[in-house]
Chain A
Amino acid sequence: QSDLTQPRSVSGSPGQSVTISCTGTSSDVGGYNSVSWYQQYAGKAPKLMLHDVSKRPSGVPERFSGSKSGNTASLTISGLQAEDEADYYCCSYAGSYNRLFGTGTTVTVL
């Protein structure tokens, strides 16, 4: 199985919105509502930002939102802030006990 496909990088100015896509297949993203998103700063452990496509854990700002259409899931950061500059990874259950991560996206705040 291949990693889920994400854009290598996205950028935006403070206050703008950016969207990161996560494209898989009907065997993973399209087949389950078990898509999650992680934020990772350099040298640090990943942090859960969204789960079950669009659910935010306690403490995650409301500007982070998620959606899914077909085989593509998306993470949107509205009202971009400087501290949002990080790497982001999607992850999906892929059946047969497998989990797949996305290729990762670097968010740059201009």
Chain B
Amino acid sequence: EVQLVESGGGLVQPGGSLRLSCAASGFTVSTNYMSWVRQAPGKGLEWLSVIYSGGGTYYADSVKGRFMTSRDSSKNTLHLQMNSLRVDDTAVYYCAREDWTYHFDYWGQGVLVTVSS
């Protein structure tokens, strides 16, 4: 059974950093596309980044240069390093497995990140 479990969320001050993790089971992270998607309180979904099976990473303009996606093959885990956090980065962050035709077939339960002083 495919499962994705996010962790690492919490409260951080503006300008701070946070690292999210997404532990996968039932499939291999390194041979799949993996994306991060977030949802601000009361708002819609926003795609943030993707890491391809070949290792290439791509980001939405809103987080480019501040966020970095990586993976740990030994732990079958995806990470999102978030730097220079802003109040408007406050959201529930989801990891999702992405099929090669650009749809998200499995999602984690989400983790809340709150950026506030």
On A, residues with C-beta under 8 Å from B are 1, 3, 32, 34, 36, 38, 40, 45-48, 51-52, 57, 89, 91-93, 97-104
* Distance from B42 Cβ to chain A, minimum over Cβ atoms (Å): 10
Contacts of A47 in B (CB 8 A): 107
* Contact A97:B103 (CB < 8 A) given known A3-B44, A45-B108, A46-B94: no
On B, residues with C-beta under 8 Å from A are 35, 37, 44-47, 50, 58, 60-61, 94, 99, 101-105, 107-110
Contact A97 B105 (CB under 8 A): no
Contact B104 A89 (CB under 8 A): no
* 5 smallest beta-carbon distances between A and B, as pairs: A97-B58, A36-B103, A51-B103, A93-B102, A34-B102
Contacts of A46 in B (CB 8 A): 37, 45, 94, 104, 107
A45-B108, A45-B109, A45-B110 known, 20 other contacts, Cβ within 8 Å = A1-B61, A34-B101, A34-B103, A36-B104, A47-B107, A48-B104, A48-B105, A51-B99, A57-B105, A89-B44, A91-B45, A91-B102, A91-B103, A92-B102, A99-B47, A99-B102, A101-B44, A101-B47, A103-B44, A104-B45
